[in-house]
Amino acid sequence: MSNIYDKAYELEKAIRESDEFQNLEAAYETVMKEESSKKLFESFRDTQLALQEKQMQGEEITEEELDQARKVVELVQQQPDISKLMEQEQRLHLVINDVSRIITKSLEELYGMVDDKDQPFN
């Protein structure tokens, strides 16, 4: 029987070599090369992380914080390179979510939580 950790490292390597990851990496590098895009993207990520942290701590997000977040999102959406980066990130997340469903399928079956007709990877 092979070591499960070896398989996990093989999976990590496969993800790193995938088109989805390669496209994300290229889009990220494009954004990071342009100083104004880089700053805007970092501002977007900082805003996103701050709001997520508040939610996780059970704190209310103020209307002012929501307005600021909306403004940052509007600016980000006007930047084609950042929009492409976010699109590529979403595509990789879809792949990772699909892989996660495949990995956890055995547990779901064990606990009777899977209806085979609802699973796209049977």
Question: Considering only the top CATH level, what class is 4-118?
Answer: mainly alpha
Task: Give 68-108 pLDDT, tens digit per residue.
Answer: 999 999 999 999 999 999 999 999 999 999 999 999 999 98
Tell me, what's the pLDDT at 99? 96
CA 25 to chain centre: 13
Kindly indicate the confidence band of residue 118, based on its pLDDT and cuts at 50, 70 and 90: low
Q: How many CA atoms lie within 13 A of 26 on its CB side?
A: 10
| Tokens coding 90 | 């979403």
